[in-house]
Amino acid sequence: MSQGIFGIIDFRNAIADRDVLGNAMAAYLKMSGSGEFSVSTGLGHLIGMRRSAADSPSRQTRIEHDPDAGLAAVIHGEVNNYRELLSQHPPSGRPCCGDLDLVLRMYRRSGASFARSINGLFTIGILDEREKTFRLMNDRFGLAHQLYWTVADGRLIFATHLKTLLACPGVRRELDHEGLNLFLKYAYITSPWSILKGINKLPPGHMLTFRDGKAEVAPYWQFDAVTRPGMTMEEAIPAYRDLLRGAIARRMGSDGSTGVMLSGGLDSSANAALAASCSSTPVKTFAIGFEDPRFDERPFARIVAKHFGTDHHEYTITGREIDDLPSLVWHLEEPYFEFGLFLTYMGLKSASGHVQAVIGGEGADQMYGTGGFAGGRPAAVHYLFRKSGMIGPARTVSSLLRGPLFYDRDNLGFQLRLFWNRAADLNDWYFYGYDGHELSQLYRNGNLARVPRIFGEPAGSPESFAQVYLETQIEQDMRHYVNENVMVKSGRMADMLGLVLRESFLDADVADFLVSLPMPVKRGGGLVDHLRGRFKSKLLHRKAMEGILPPEIMSKPKQGGFVPVMIFLNDPALRKRIYEKLLRSEVMGEYFRTDYLRTLFEKYESFQQGAVGWPNFLNSKANRILFLLTFDIWHHCYLANDPLGVTPPSLNEYLG
């Protein structure tokens, strides 16, 4: 049920066979899309869009044109502050027709800088024939869809779906090993890389400007790290409540067709509470749980649902959902297997038959700063390494933590390596995938094992721990984990299921406010407290929700947020079939060492014999197997075959 945009731009040479090219690139959206489809063509352009009206009368479903100014615009996503912008830019002549009409009016008045004022999740394309320029811009958090683009012979080709881009004649399909290695290490591929050579992704908060046969990409927006040192907790609480309530109200719609994902945690419970206050009818809520009570938050979700009188729905993940993996990979379009994938997928799937749009709580943790995970301790130790000039020696120590003691045993040595690596280098923050040492052993050709460094080197000695914490929050938590991972996962799954995704904590006003607050308002405890693990997280959020949420929610510790991945490999017979499939796979044999794969599988079988000490140990080992399976499936769908000619099989069918 996909929606999206696409196009070909060539101001220097007329585009021949525009109808043929248009039909080729439109094939996927016409095949699986929802909403109205429109195309605009001219000598030097071909642009297309598929968009549904959903529950918003301001959502235009056709390409907007301004022939007098030589302008045309396409959009994927939503403008959440349409009414506010309309009041700031009242029409001087005819009434405004909707969000795309408003976009062109703002562009005429302010130029490309207008994008900074939009509050929403969007990708917008503007054709300016007078200037012979085409611009593409992503919202600050990266919409549901990453925007793929390439320039071939001075011609820009772009699309929100890789399948659409690949349908254009002349676009190459060649594996990019740096992109693959980013996936194998981090579970996703960060922009500007993609899984294919020569195909780029437009980063969140960036604008692509195409003129004279060349594309230039630059940020049009960046997080403002200037804090409000004078704001007290007492001042912040009412301001925050009003901002979050406003964000929910903008996303609720007016006909009861918007639901809320409800895990039972503090963030989603706040969404449910504020949504209930904005609605005259019971809000539909959706919860996902597990048979294992260690990971199951549904009892808390039920408390919230009862307290606010929601129309509540639940689903239990058993592990059998892994049978849908090929379909998910086909829709994700690049190799991706983050541990929350099936949690998000099943949550949205349970909502898809009941509502048109869902409000999620993505990004809340990161807006308050996780500090490199592990309770912020890695950030605290990282600060000490930098302050003392010991980053270099710390990384030398990392290179010495090798061997079975640090990689293959569920012990303190394994946890020490993970913690030390996180503290010494932000590029090693994620441990569920293969690190550089493992990749060098996995590849037949070690020269292919290079992983791009997505975080730059720290500059000089930091002034304070608070400064390092803010840098970590912005660079690691938000720009990468939220923008390049979480939003891609949630957005692609929503698109797959025909839902509109709306995120309250990623509202521009809420985000700007939270980033600007001094650390003591958001998080309690200084350097020593973080080193000792005695900090208090989400101070403002907790204070603001006092008297609103039930006491059971206010006092519960953080529990869920991800799926225990090892449940997908609980079945010994399924594991055996996966091993056999990967060992006979041509692409596995082409790039990876068969003896390494055999050892990997044998070790995982040995882990099944003993008790699980730290669940994340087994989780990380299961991920490594599922990463390889995901890549094998992706290769089958996108390189070995034409993705538009592939009907995704079940995993059972794929394994043969």
Percentages helix, strand, coil for the chain, rounded to the nearest 5? 50, 15, 35
| Gap between the Cα atoms of 363 and 508, Å rounded | 12
With helix as H, strand as E and coil as C, how does 427-492 read?
Answer: HHCCCCCCCHHHHHHHECCHHHCCCCCCCCCCCCCCCCHHHHHHHHHHHHHHHHHHHHHHHHHHHH
- How far does Cα 376 stand from its chain's mean position? 22
Spell out the alpha helix ranges (H) of 255-324. Answer: 266-278, 298-308
Burial-class residue 395 by CB neighbours within 10 Å (0-12, 13-18, 19+).
Answer: middle
What are the distances in angstroms from CA 44 to CA 10, 149, 213? Answer: 5, 17, 11
**Coil, helix or strand at residue 289:** strand
Whether residue 421 contacts residue 398, with contact meaning beta carbons closer than 8 Å, is answered with: yes
Using alpha carbons, select from 345, 343, 321 the residue that is nearest to residue 332. Answer: 345
Query: Do the annotations mark residue 571 as ligand-binding?
Result: no
Q: Residue 640: enclosing H or E segment and its boundaries? A: none
| Gap between the Cα atoms of 97 and 88, Å rounded | 16
Whether residue 315 contacts residue 289, with contact meaning beta carbons closer than 8 Å, is answered with: yes
Tokens of 486: 């979480």
Whether residue 342 contacts residue 317, with contact meaning beta carbons closer than 8 Å, is answered with: yes
| Gap between the Cα atoms of 502 and 506, Å rounded | 9
Q: Residue 158: enclosing H or E segment and its boundaries? A: strand 155-159
Query: Do the annotations mark residue 288 as ligand-binding?
Result: yes
**Coil, helix or strand at residue 65:** strand
Tokens 């045309």 label which residue? 72
Whether residue 87 contacts residue 79, with contact meaning beta carbons closer than 8 Å, is answered with: no
Residue 192 φ/ψ, nearest 5 degrees: -85, 0
Query: How does strand 122-128 pair with strand 133-138?
Result: antiparallel
R_g over Cα of the chain? 24
b/e burial code for range 298-322 (CB count within 10 A of at least 16 → b) = bebbbbbbebbebebbebebebebb
Residues tagged in the binding site annotation for ATP: 288
Q: Which residues are annotated as a binding site?
A: 99, 288
List, as residue ranges, the binding site for L-glutamine: 99
